[in-house]
Amino acid sequence: MNGSKLLAGVNYASAAGGILDVTGTFLGDRYSLKQQVLHFEEDLNEIKNLFSHDEDYNEYLSKSIVVMVLGSNDYINNYLVPTLYTSSYTYTPEQYANLLLNEYTRQILAVQSLGIRKFLLAAVGPLGCIPNQRASAGGPDCVDQVNQIVGYFNRGLGSLVKQLNTDHPDSVFLYGNTYDTLGDMLNNPDKYGFTVVDEGCCGLGRNRGQITCLPFAVPCTERSRFYEFSKQIQLRLISYDQQIVNWIYCKLSN
């Protein structure tokens, strides 16, 4: 994507990529948050060339919204994989959350220094309820211990958002409580049109969550019924229609 198409917005997400550079290395090539920010900076340089006046460019940036949804991979593709990573032996859950948040803060401020003034920072969802974690625990139920581990990150992120708003009054940082939102989907699936919340739509093994969806694998026929697609990929079938976009923009504009 280049040229004027960039003005409509870009998704820099990378499967398996996390806040930490080492997260997800066993899954192959991916872009960590640091690399995603570098790509964002490169694109901003191209965007700037589309404007004749710096004032117009700065106004464009001031109205732009950066949505950052990170942290999940740093658990499911790092901390919760003790056979491949030593992080769970090296750090307590609280220490690891602080490690993530320190690096996250550096990258958030790097983006802010480029001229962005509106941020939505989303919490990590209830990872103890994804098919992979349910299967690892040997049962159908959510793994409370994993959700408790994630709680350290989410509480820290909430505090970080408050601190960022205090330290940078020219910017707006909004905390997205996706943990409770996704938890409500799990507890009240009928309300959201789901009928299956404890197994994946595509995957192998217990809860169809021990081995991820492989190439040429045939997924379930009624995907909209499943809360999860693969062993650790949440469908999150929320319609990001104009009303939701307007709500986020309104919150970030206050």
pLDDT above 60: residue 163: yes
Side-chain-side CA neighbours of 55 within 13 Å: the count stands at 0
By the 10 Å C-beta count (0-12 exposed, 13-18 middle, 19+ buried), 221 is classed as exposed
Strand boundaries in the chain, DSSP class E? 66-68, 118-122, 172-176, 196-200, 226-228
Report DSSP state, residue 100. Answer: H
For the chain, give the number of residues.
Answer: 254
- The percentage of residues in the chain with a pLDDT greater than 70, rounded to a whole number, is 87
* Token reading at 59: 């106004």
Reported confidence tier of residue 99, pLDDT bands at 50, 70, 90: very high
Amino acid at site 49: N
Dump pLDDT digits (tens) for 29-69: 889 999 999 999 999 999 999 999 999 999 999 889 999 99
Residue 157 has a pLDDT of 98
In the beta sheet, which residues pair with residue 200?
Answer: 228
pTM: predicted TM-score of the whole model, two decimal places: 0.87
